[in-house]
Chains A and B, each alone.
Chain A
Amino acid sequence: MPTKVTYREALNQALKEEMQRDDRVFLIGEDVAYYQGAFKVSKGFLEEFGSRRVVDTPITELGFTGLAIGAAMGGLRPVVEVMTFNFAILAMDQIVNNAAKIRYMSGGQLSVPIVIRGPGSAAHQLGAQHSQSLEAWFCHVPGLKVVAPATPHDAKGLIKSAIRDENPVIFIEAQLLYPMQGEIGDGDYTIPLGIAEVKRAGTDVTLIAYSKMLLVALEAAEKLAQEGIQAEVVDPRTLRPLDLTTLAASAKKTGKVVIVEEGWPFAGLGAQIAESLYRRVFDYLDGPIVRVTGRDAPMPYARNLEDAAIPDVDQVVAAARQVLYRR
């Protein structure tokens, strides 16, 4: 029987099971131990695993991320919790110049099996410095893998694969997803990195969306169904490496594509996905791919402005109508 748990609980279970399975796995980050995680993902960990394996850090992202990268070089399997990905900016040098490159620069002598995880994207009125979708930054870098699951089931299966992967993996969660409930698989399952999933089958238009935006796309698909439009919703789940085979198959089938992302439009991830699809299935498309993105501004605080800055269901529905020429 599948059980229903929150996204937070799914992560908690997965991390716990991985730490039970492998002594080399440890959790390190700000307030992960005594506070039990800023978003309570590591609830109960200190009690079960002790402070050797659940390591509270000072507020020094560069220092503890770099240290964890070194620990991975030294044979451990660190899971770094960044309280939010906004703070990972402080550790960008360590992530980009060290984690991503050490294997390559050393001619394959060294490897960095590390997971850097935490919430990305906006929550509610947290202001410009705490409301950013930075996945495109990480996706740009060869040597990194980037994962952004939307459901509890995917979160559990993907974080396990990320921990067992030999490469550095950036694992982007979302604050607003933590309380969302969903059915998860039984026991110790994994979902391979780099595999997209069709979350809703359809024939008329393809909606590509990941993380929080998957929920927006699914809701939009419901609305479109009421108009007799059958939207297919595809979640890449892993953003690098991107499962172009699955995305292209859907695009080829429907001939119409909308990409939904919360991040900024210029040089955003959707631009890359669109370019990749144009190269693969241009001849099968009935018209240009349409992107629905966050607005091109730092996140405003005022509730109405923030709402306007983030893609919503109506925008996705409108975009679908646009590619279907049904204005």
Chain B
Amino acid sequence: MLLIRRFEERTAEMYALGKIGGFCHLYIGEEAVAVGAVDALQPDDYVFSAYRDHGHCLARGSDPKRVMAELFGRATGLCKGKGGSMHLVDAARRFLGGYAIVGGHLPLAAGVAFAVKYRGGGQVVLCFFGEGAVPSGACHETLNLAALWGLPVLFLCENNRYGMGTPVERAVALYSDVAQNAAAYGIEAGRVDGMDVVAVRDAVGKAVEQVRTRQRPYFLEAVTYRFLGHSMADPAHGHYRTKAEVDEAKKRDPLLLLRTRMLSERLATEDDFKRIEQEVAQVVREAVEFADASPVPPVTALEDGVYI
């Protein structure tokens, strides 16, 4: 979680310096969801994400150097500089991307689950998406198919309250219980505090186990909050929410909650946290150095990889 936090902070700095371009959506505030959820998976399970995907990719174990290099648009990036911030892919870790049309990757996740079931495999597909995707046709068509065909997908809805600047209560009819959208298809659903990494890991662990053994989808809503703006173009609180609201949410910073808990339960000491902080700083520093020193992709490669 600390790695994601520091990585994202440096990403913001690099964006300000012009090293990173385009749309860039930071995960700060939501780290406990990716970390807790991915921790409950097996290495051969699959993960899909939307466009706010740096955290999921890092949580899955991708090399921060190659993630940062991709953000820099360098040849050494995970996708050779062809993907960018919103399209990170690390196939070796079964992190299948990084999709930037809201709701558009849900059918893909169900399709990989279909392939798993077709081949008689035991893997589970974990599909992250925001609450902003829930009203989309893609979401509902996918929920219907996944329920109809008993596909092993865990739909993990990261409800950070805002689809860009539109709050959930102005976008989702069943806003007070988003998971009810899945219940309409007979999909078992639950909700978890997305700021509590242990709670997320427990809930996802149970859900994944259930998906795996029963071969049925599951829909889990993780209630979370994004501390920064929608993207780098959006100030932390903009016109659609107040500073007071953001400050209030920050009292339940997932890193703070975990730290407090670990200290009080004597699972770690202040020294441990200092050491971890230093280690993470080193990793992030090296990631930036690697990205900055990496070559840009050759222009001759522009049309490579369109077809096989």
Q: Which residues of A contact B (CB under 8 A)?
A: 26, 52, 57-58, 60, 62-76, 93-94, 97-98, 102-111, 142-143, 145, 166-167
Give Cα distance in the complex from A49 to B167, angstroms.
Answer: 48
B interface bracket (residues with beta carbon within 8 Å of A): 35 or more
Q: Which residues of A contact B97 (CB under 8 A)?
A: 102, 105-106, 110
Residue pair B101, A66 in contact (C-beta under 8 Å): no
CB-CB nearest 10 A-B residue pairs = A70-B111, A66-B107, A74-B115, A63-B141, A107-B79, A107-B80, A70-B108, A106-B89, A109-B91, A74-B112
Interface presence of B142 (CB below 8 A): yes
Contacting pair B79 A106 (CB below 8 A): yes
Stretch among B205-213, B253-261, B286-294, B300-308 lining the A interface: B300-308
The reply to whether B306 and A110 form a contact with Cβ atoms under 8 Å apart is no
For residues 47 through 88 of chain B, which have their beta carbon under 8 Å from a beta carbon of chain A? Answer: 77-83, 87
| Contact (Cβ within 8 A) B112 A66 | no
Known interface pairs A104-B305, A106-B89; 15 further A-B residue pairs with C-beta atoms within 8 A, sorted by A's residue number: A62-B107, A70-B107, A71-B112, A71-B118, A73-B108, A74-B112, A74-B114, A97-B104, A105-B89, A106-B87, A107-B80, A107-B83, A108-B305, A142-B303, A167-B307
Q: A63-B145, A67-B114 are in contact. Are A107 and B308 (CB under 8 A)?
A: no
Cα separation A52 to B108 with both chains bound (whole Å): 19
Taking CB atoms, residues of chain A closer than 8 Å to B112 are: 70-71, 73-74
Alpha-carbon gap, A145 to B308, bound state (A): 11
* B115 and A71 contact, CB distance less than 8 A: yes
In the bound assembly, the distance between CA atoms of A110 and B105 in angstroms comes to 14
What is the distance, in angstroms, from B50's C-beta to the closest C-beta of chain A? Answer: 13
Contacts of B83 in A (CB 8 A): 105-107
Separation of A107 and B77 alpha carbons in the complex (Å): 9
Q: Assuming A73-B108, A97-B104, A105-B97, is B138 touching A63 (CB within 8 A)?
A: yes
Q: Is B231 an interface residue (CB 8 A)?
A: no
Q: Is the CB of B138 within 8 A of A107?
A: no
State the CA gap A58–B305 with chains docked (Å). Answer: 34
Residue of A with least CB distance to B146: A67
- B136-155 CB mask vs A (1 if < 8 Å, else 0) is 01100110110010000000
Q: Which residue of A is nearest B153, CB measured?
A: A70
B interface residues with partner A (beta carbon < 8 Å): 46, 77-83, 87, 89-91, 96-99, 101, 104-116, 118-119, 137-138, 141-142, 144-145, 148, 303-308
A-B contact count (CB 8 A): 141
**A67 with B79: CB separation less than 8 A:** no
Residues of B with C-beta under 8 A to A166: 308
**Min CB–CB distance A193 → chain B (angstroms):** 10
Q: A65: which of B77, B105, B107 is its contact (CB, 8 Å)?
A: B107
Contact assessment for A62 and B307 in the assembled complex, using a CB-CB cutoff below 8 Å: no
* Best-surrounded residue of B113, B303, B306 (most CB of chain A within 10 A): B306
- What are 5 A-to-B residue pairs whose CB atoms are below 8 Å? A60-B141, A63-B144, A67-B142, A74-B116, A145-B307
Cβ distance A130 to chain B, nearest Cβ, rounded Å: 21
Q: Judge whether B104 and A66 touch: CB under 8 Å.
A: yes
Q: Which one of A58, A60, A72, A109 has the greatest number of beta carbons of chain B within 10 Å? A: A109
| Residue from A52, A67, A68 with most neighbouring chain B CB atoms (10 Å) | A67
> Contacts A70-B109, A70-B110 known; A63 to B142 CB distance under 8 Å?
yes
Docked complex Cα distance between A272 and B87 (Å): 31
Taken together as a complex, chains A and B put the C-alpha atoms of A167 and B306 apart, in Å, by: 9
Give the distance to chain A from B101, nearest Cβ to Cβ, in Å. Answer: 5
Smallest distance from the beta carbon of B83 to chain A beta carbons, Å? 5
> For B306, what are the chain A residues with a Cβ–Cβ distance below 8 Å?
103-104, 142-143
**B98 proximity list for chain A (CB < 8 A):** 105
A72, B111: Cβ atoms closer than 8 Å: yes
CB contacts (< 8 Å) of B77 on chain A: these are: 107
Distance in angstroms between the alpha carbons of A145 and B306 in the assembled complex: 11
Determine the chain A residues whose CB is within 8 A of the CB of B116 once the complex forms.
74
B115 nearest in chain A by CB position: A74
Contact between B145 and A64 (Cβ–Cβ < 8 Å)? Answer: yes
Chain B residue with the shortest CB-CB distance to A78: B111
| CB pair B78 A107 closer than 8 Å | yes
A109 with B89, Cβ < 8 A, contacts A70-B114, A74-B111 known:
yes
From A98, A105, A109, contact of B104 by CB (8 A): A98
Chain A nearest CB from B61 CB (Å) reads 15
Contact of A71 among B79, B114, B141 (CB under 8 A): B114
Which A-chain residue is minimally distant from B118 (CB atoms)? A76
Contact of B108 among A57, A66, A111 (CB under 8 A): A66
- Supposing A58-B145, A93-B101, A104-B305 touch, asked if A75 and B107 sit within 8 A by C-beta, the answer is no
In the bound assembly, the distance between CA atoms of A11 and B223 in angstroms comes to: 50
With both beta carbons as reference points, the residue of chain A lying nearest to B149 in the complex is identified as A55
A50 → chain B, closest Cβ, in Å? 12
Within the complex, which residue of A26, A71, A72, A98 is in contact with B99, where a contact is CB–CB below 8 Å? A98
- Give the most central of B112, B113, B303: most A CB within 10 Å: B112
